[in-house]
Amino acid sequence: AQSVTQLGSHVSVSEGALVLLRCNYSSSVPPYLFWYVQYPNQGLQLLLKYTSAATLVKGINGFEAEFKKSETSFHLTKPSAHMSDAAEYFCAVSGASAGNMLTFGGGTRLMVKP
């Protein structure tokens, strides 16, 4: 079975500071991993995905994530936070069985202080 743990349900950073959102996963097969962002009153938007190619994945809006197999981690980072980055972020792993069933973490709400 798959599972995803996002450490920290709330993260607060100052504008211009580094953003680090943590994601650890467990998977019985080589994982496919995703980060999604959800702005208020909207659905989820894909930020980036890892599908066994490069371990450092670059996404939209200046975000990137690094896959570390030894640590079973896929942390999301951005060098400099903007006010517009305030949202909820979800890490997800794709299921092991045939089919495309995602298991999501509990989400991390990012707050950006001016």
Rule CB under 8 A: which residues touch another protein?
32, 34, 36, 41-46, 49, 51, 90, 94-95, 98-107
Distance of closest approach, residue 10 Cβ to another protein, in angstroms: 13
Contact present, 21 and 81 (Cβ < 8 Å):
no
Q: Cβ 58 to another protein, closest distance in Å?
A: 15
Q: Other CB atoms closer than 10 Å to residue 107's CB: what's the count? A: 18
**What is the pairing mode between strands 87-94 and 102-104?**
antiparallel
Tokens at 43, concatenated = 């659905």
**Nearer of residues 65 and 81 to another protein, judged by Cβ:** 65
CB nearer to another protein: give 17 or 96. 96
Q: Would the CA dihedral through 75, 76, 80, 85 be positive or negative?
A: negative
Nearer to another protein, 8 or 106 (CB): 106
User: Least Å distance between CB 11 and another protein?
Assistant: 17
Residue that the structure tokens 């089919």 belong to: 99
Q: Minimum distance between the CB of residue 106 and another protein, rounded to whole angstroms?
A: 5
Q: For residue 53, give the nearest of 72, 35, 34, 67 by alpha carbon.
A: 67
When the beta carbons of 6 and 73 are compared against another protein, the nearer one is: 6
